[in-house]
Structure 1
Amino acid sequence: MTQDHPGTATTPRTRAKARHILDNYYIGPARDDAVLEIWGYTPEMSYAPGDCVALHVSTTADEWEFEIGRDGLDYVPLLTKSGLPGRHHPTPRDCSVKGCGWPEAYAFTIPDDWAPGGYLVTFRARKGKDMVEEHHVILIRSATDAAPPPYVLVCATGTWLAYNCWGGSNHYEGITGPNGDAFSPIVSTQRPWTRGFCKLPEGAPRALREQPAKPGEMVRYPYMEWAYAYGYSKKYASAGWASYERHFARWAEAEGYDFDVISQYDLHCDSDLLNRYSCAVFVGHDEYWSSEMRDAVDAYVETGGHVARFAGNFLWQTRIEDEGRTQVCYKYIADQDPLVRTDQEHLVSGAFEVEPVNRPGALTFGVNALRGIYSGLGNCVGGGAGGFTIYRDSHWAFDDAGLGYGDVLGSGSRIFGYEVDGLDYHFEDGLPFPTCSDGAVPEIEILAMGLATNIEADHGVWGETLYIGAADAAFKAQALFGEVTPETLDACKRGNGMIVSWPRSKGEIFTAATCEWVAGLIRQDTQVEQITRNVLNRFGKSKERSR
């Protein structure tokens, strides 16, 4: 959700500072034949065996090459081509909004023996002794006429696109606004992924610090400092294959789970696609969804499907337009969406919990974004536990995990944050229950909780600039209470993140509502791993579903 500026960015000084940050993070075409570069993209995000994949590439080199390999537990090149003629194509200034428009440079058909997974595409170009390398990723699922695996990993491509800053604009910042520092409510799928979304070096910092800051220290953001130093997008830690889905896919493969891998856009286009699988899995940061994507998940669960969501920040409704080439999300300025005050007002691209959308996330996954948000990022619960406090330790999800009432799950591996989802709740005899005032239903069991906030603490450290500040709390106060006052800001300060379990209709949902669950898998946290196994083992069993 992070609004991309320090504090509230309401003064000329802070706006200038935000612009300075944007300039330093710009990743995109140099538009200069003298600069060695190569970039590429594909028209679609996901494919199946037999599909044709077109590579749209622009390079200043006379020749270029590419390599494709499955980015699984072991990386093995499967297709390589070299000596391809290079062409440097004009790139529109508003390419991040309208697309690059580059012609097809090479095409190939996906062989039948390519296993489902994420496939890394490496583009290389050379001039003399200089070489540049950039990356793309495509998702490959099993053939429609093949027997499907029990599980499907649904990649959060709506969020990837929202954070993709390649070419200058995304749903957070931009070069397309009237002052050159406004976010763009419209972004294109027809452009490369920004640096760090597809491949990262070992050791790239995650969004959460591995250790909380010490009292009196200036707050630090190691992932942004790293991005500055090495020329990566500062958004790499917020979205993308490399930071989230890749780690889950590699862990699951090592554990012997058989997965298909698809994009959210597949759900948007095919509402019945999930019915092939026993369990749909979501991981990482799944902030942006179209109404059609949600409809597909809801229908799947209603007819007996299982959902395992190890992800956080289920917040914004989007629209997919122009045959999938454009994503729309007006977000904080949803009142400017062209669908306001029309018969399609329910499709306005604003927050799920807010009018006119008014479709709380708890109706789909059992938790709401605006009841949670930040933990462990900067001074937002910066000294917190970093994990979930266990309340219902006898639940099946915790079998053999060695957890008791009051224990903290995942603090050592820092799984709680950087954005989380929660509910309004009350305590009875030491156990939390949903109040059901925010779209939740009594059948939702709250298994574990942690604390979050929407206002970054200011400890008065000299020279410190807060990143989150209070801007998101002001948005929440306006959205939920209709005005921003000291009282409504205070009411919006406190949030929470939850693990919930929900037997819904003929199906079942398990949600660990945190972006950083995969950190527990990366760091081999045995308790996090055991809970993940428990959920997958239970949900992967075949279940009769009505068609």
Structure 2
Amino acid sequence: MSISETAGPSTTSRTRAKARHILDNYYIGPARDVNVLEIWGYTERFSYSPGDRVALHVSTTAETWDLEVGRDGASYQPILQEIGLPGVYQHTPTDCSVNGCNWAPSYEFVIPHDWKEGGYLVTFRADRDGDAVEEHHLFLLRRAENRPVAPYVLVCSTGTWMAYNCWGGSNHYEGITGPKGNAFSPVLSALRPWTRGFCKLPEGAPRAVPEMAHVPGGMVRYPYMEWAYSYGYSKKYASAGWASYERHFARWAEAHGYEFDFATQHDLEADPDLLNRHACAVFVGHDEYWSANMRSAVDRFTDAGGRIARFAGNFTWQTRIEDEGRRQVCYKYTATEDPLYGTDRQHLVTGAWEVAPVNWPGARTFGVNGLKGVYAGLGRCVGQGSGGFTVYRPGHWAFDGAHLGYGDQLGAASRIFGYEVDGLDYRMEDGLPFATGADGADPDVRILAMGLATNLEPDHGTWGETIYIGDADAAYKASVLFGEITPETLDRSTRGNGVIVSWSRGKGEVFTAGTCEWVMGLSRRDWQVEQVTRNVLDRFGTKR
């Protein structure tokens, strides 16, 4: 979410504004210098089907380059390799992040019908005078039409991938736009490379939620950003992309015998009936950005009897997808500047789901709300928390075989709670949380487990440190939910929570674990998290 990144320095850290500005201007993109060895590439679409032609748009300063395409499943399998392809250096517009690179195709191939569905890693390599460079791209391969439909479809969060992609200058957080050259862009192009770290990461790259809780009295640290600066990766790698989220789930699911098809949010935009072929739609990781069309497709699927398994967090912003999927629009906290504001289509204004003029709380789709979160385990935001969910209803079917009792912690050892979570307005009654419905949620939503979150990163005055979140998110929440920023509304806006919920919606069923980091429970082999995941998939894998 990180509204503070777009809203500027928080009121608790204005003296550190200069340092923060330098941090937020970290750039990944073309050097625009033929003397610098580099290679970058992208595809025209995020997903393909067997038989489709894939055009790779590549720019390099090397005379030749090498290509490798491999399926990134339970194990990586190289499938296509080319050596010594002619290199072409292509002009990159300064506004490429907004209007696209417009590079000519450099290499094309037709996807064979025997390639299996999944994520396909594209590796570009080039060398010159003893120096070498390697960059990556990724596309999703849909299931061939002549193959039986899989019970499950993993829908990758390409809306959030686009929002965080800083390649070339701008994303929905910061960049080259604006009067001071460091403002977020409400318009982004899909026709550019993914930033470094979205497609492939070294083993051990730090997560946004560190493996150990914050040490009281110590300087606040953000290990993933420090690592990114040190090794030349985007600081956004831990917030979005295949490598940090969907890949972990896909590898675990395949290794455990679950059969999945793969799609993207943009596929839902283009094909609203896509989900109807499957018993269960799965969403994992960080799915912050959705269009109304994407979300409506999920609602229709659930109402008709489909099952939703969402192991993801931070359902916050409505977007618009334009130009046949090539452009994404999101005005976010400046929603009043959206051209649709004040028109008869202002329900499509690209602001937060829970506030006017959108007024479509996320809980009506997934049982949880983004603004009832948000941060846990990031910096000092619940930095000393357990890293897990507190279990309140251990007798629910989702916890069968997980050996959990009332008050136990689920996922604390694997740190699954964070870095952004989704919550609910709730009341406690006889030691159990109940959804009040005051935030638009169905009061029948059952809260199974819960943890605490915050929109305020406390500043303890430690000399020399930079507070990353501060209080800007709380100020935004106060302004949009209560209409003004006062000490009272600011205080009410600092507190949030993250929940695991179960809900019958229409003829279908929804299970949501409202956290970005659930996949770490699978990757780190936390057997209780794995058991809950199996319980959900096994129940949801057959059509009603």
What TM-score results when the alignment is normalised by the length of structure 1? Answer: 0.97
* Aligned mates of 1:347, 1:106 — CA distance in 2: 38
The aligned amino acid for 2:304 is: T
Cross-structure match for 1:335: 336
Matched, 1:175 2:185: no
Aligned in 2, Cα 1:118/1:9: closer, same or farther, shift over 3 Å? farther
* Aligned mates of 1:538, 1:274 — CA distance in 2: 17
Offset from partner CA, 1:173-221 (integer Å, 9 cap, x none): 0101111111111110000000000000001000011111211100000
Aligned in 2, Cα 1:131/1:230: closer, same or farther, shift over 3 Å? same
* Aligned mates of 2:333, 2:10 — CA distance in 1: 13
Offset from partner CA, 1:254-303 (integer Å, 9 cap, x none): 10000011110000111100001111000000000000000000000000
Cross-structure match for 1:46: 47
TM alignment of 1:37-436, pairs within 5 A: 37-436=38-437
* Aligned mates of 2:136, 2:370 — CA distance in 1: 32
Partner-residue secondary structure (3-state), 1:450: strand
The aligned amino acid for 1:513 is: G
Partner-residue secondary structure (3-state), 1:490: helix
Partner-residue secondary structure (3-state), 2:422: strand
Partner-residue secondary structure (3-state), 2:153: strand
Please state how far the C-alpha of 1:439 moved relative to its aligned partner: 0.8
Partner-residue secondary structure (3-state), 1:234: coil
Partner-residue secondary structure (3-state), 2:243: helix
Matched, 1:20 2:22: yes
The aligned amino acid for 1:8 is: S
The aligned amino acid for 1:235 is: K
* Aligned mates of 2:11, 2:409 — CA distance in 1: 36
Please state how far the C-alpha of 1:27 moved relative to its aligned partner: 0.6
* Aligned mates of 1:15, 1:85 — CA distance in 2: 46
* Aligned mates of 1:12, 1:150 — CA distance in 2: 52
* Aligned mates of 2:12, 2:108 — CA distance in 1: 48
* Aligned mates of 1:292, 1:218 — CA distance in 2: 44
Partner-residue secondary structure (3-state), 1:441: coil
Matched, 1:441 2:442: yes
Partner-residue secondary structure (3-state), 1:235: coil
Match of residue 8, structure 1, among 3, 7, 10: 10
* Aligned mates of 1:367, 1:321 — CA distance in 2: 27
Aligned in 2, Cα 1:434/1:77: closer, same or farther, shift over 3 Å? same
The aligned amino acid for 1:394 is: G
Contact 1:189 1:326 in 2 (8 A): yes
Aligned in 2, Cα 1:248/1:11: closer, same or farther, shift over 3 Å? closer
Please state how far the C-alpha of 1:463 moved relative to its aligned partner: 2.0
* Aligned mates of 2:15, 2:409 — CA distance in 1: 42
Please state how far the C-alpha of 1:430 moved relative to its aligned partner: 1.0
Contact 1:155 1:261 in 2 (8 A): yes
* Aligned mates of 1:90, 1:464 — CA distance in 2: 40
Please state how far the C-alpha of 1:97 moved relative to its aligned partner: 0.3
Please state how far the C-alpha of 1:144 moved relative to its aligned partner: 3.1
Aligned in 2, Cα 1:51/1:8: closer, same or farther, shift over 3 Å? same
The aligned amino acid for 2:238 is: A
The aligned amino acid for 2:353 is: F
Cross-structure match for 2:37: 36
Partner-residue secondary structure (3-state), 1:533: helix
Which stretch shifts more, 514-523 or 5-14?
Answer: 5-14
* Aligned mates of 1:271, 1:322 — CA distance in 2: 17
Root-mean-square deviation over aligned CA pairs: 1.2
Partner-residue secondary structure (3-state), 2:148: coil
* Aligned mates of 1:191, 1:9 — CA distance in 2: 35
Offset from partner CA, 1:402-434 (integer Å, 9 cap, x none): 000110101111000000000000011111100
The aligned amino acid for 1:129 is: G
**Which segments of 5 or more consecutive residues in structure 1 lack a partner in the other structure?**
none
Please state how far the C-alpha of 1:7 moved relative to its aligned partner: 4.3
Please state how far the C-alpha of 1:14 moved relative to its aligned partner: 4.7
Please state how far the C-alpha of 1:84 moved relative to its aligned partner: 1.2
* Aligned mates of 1:172, 1:15 — CA distance in 2: 16
Contact 1:9 1:18 in 2 (8 A): no
Q: Deviating runs (4+, > 4 A) in structure 1? A: 9-15
Partner-residue secondary structure (3-state), 1:101: coil
Contact 2:207 2:224 in 1 (8 A): yes
Which stretch shifts more, 277-286 or 463-472?
Answer: 463-472
Partner-residue secondary structure (3-state), 2:373: strand
* Aligned mates of 2:103, 2:206 — CA distance in 1: 33
Which stretch shifts more, 137-146 or 395-404?
Answer: 137-146
Please state how far the C-alpha of 1:443 moved relative to its aligned partner: 1.7
* Aligned mates of 2:373, 2:77 — CA distance in 1: 40
Please state how far the C-alpha of 1:530 moved relative to its aligned partner: 0.1
Which stretch shifts more, 452-461 or 500-509?
Answer: 452-461
Cross-structure match for 1:484: 485
* Aligned mates of 1:204, 1:46 — CA distance in 2: 26
* Aligned mates of 2:49, 2:348 — CA distance in 1: 30
* Aligned mates of 1:72, 1:151 — CA distance in 2: 16
The aligned amino acid for 2:415 is: R
Partner-residue secondary structure (3-state), 1:242: coil
Offset from partner CA, 1:522-543 (integer Å, 9 cap, x none): 1100000000000000000132
Cross-structure match for 1:503: 504
The aligned amino acid for 1:232 is: Y
Partner-residue secondary structure (3-state), 1:536: helix
Matched, 1:541 2:542: yes
* Aligned mates of 2:30, 2:11 — CA distance in 1: 28
Please state how far the C-alpha of 1:15 moved relative to its aligned partner: 4.6
Partner-residue secondary structure (3-state), 2:358: coil
Partner-residue secondary structure (3-state), 1:187: strand
* Aligned mates of 2:461, 2:355 — CA distance in 1: 34
Contact 1:151 1:260 in 2 (8 A): yes
Partner-residue secondary structure (3-state), 1:293: helix
* Aligned mates of 1:498, 1:278 — CA distance in 2: 24
Contact 1:18 1:181 in 2 (8 A): no
Please state how far the C-alpha of 1:505 moved relative to its aligned partner: 1.2
How many aligned positions are there? 542
**Which segments of 5 or more consecutive residues in structure 2 lack a partner in the other structure?**
none
Cross-structure match for 2:526: 525
Contact 1:9 1:15 in 2 (8 A): no
* Aligned mates of 1:385, 1:22 — CA distance in 2: 29
Please state how far the C-alpha of 1:19 moved relative to its aligned partner: 3.0
Partner-residue secondary structure (3-state), 1:236: coil
Contact 2:13 2:467 in 1 (8 A): no
Partner-residue secondary structure (3-state), 1:243: coil
Aligned in 2, Cα 1:534/1:317: closer, same or farther, shift over 3 Å? same
Contact 1:7 1:466 in 2 (8 A): no
The aligned amino acid for 1:340 is: Y
* Aligned mates of 2:540, 2:123 — CA distance in 1: 35
Please state how far the C-alpha of 1:516 moved relative to its aligned partner: 0.3
Aligned in 2, Cα 1:271/1:199: closer, same or farther, shift over 3 Å? same
Please state how far the C-alpha of 1:324 moved relative to its aligned partner: 1.1
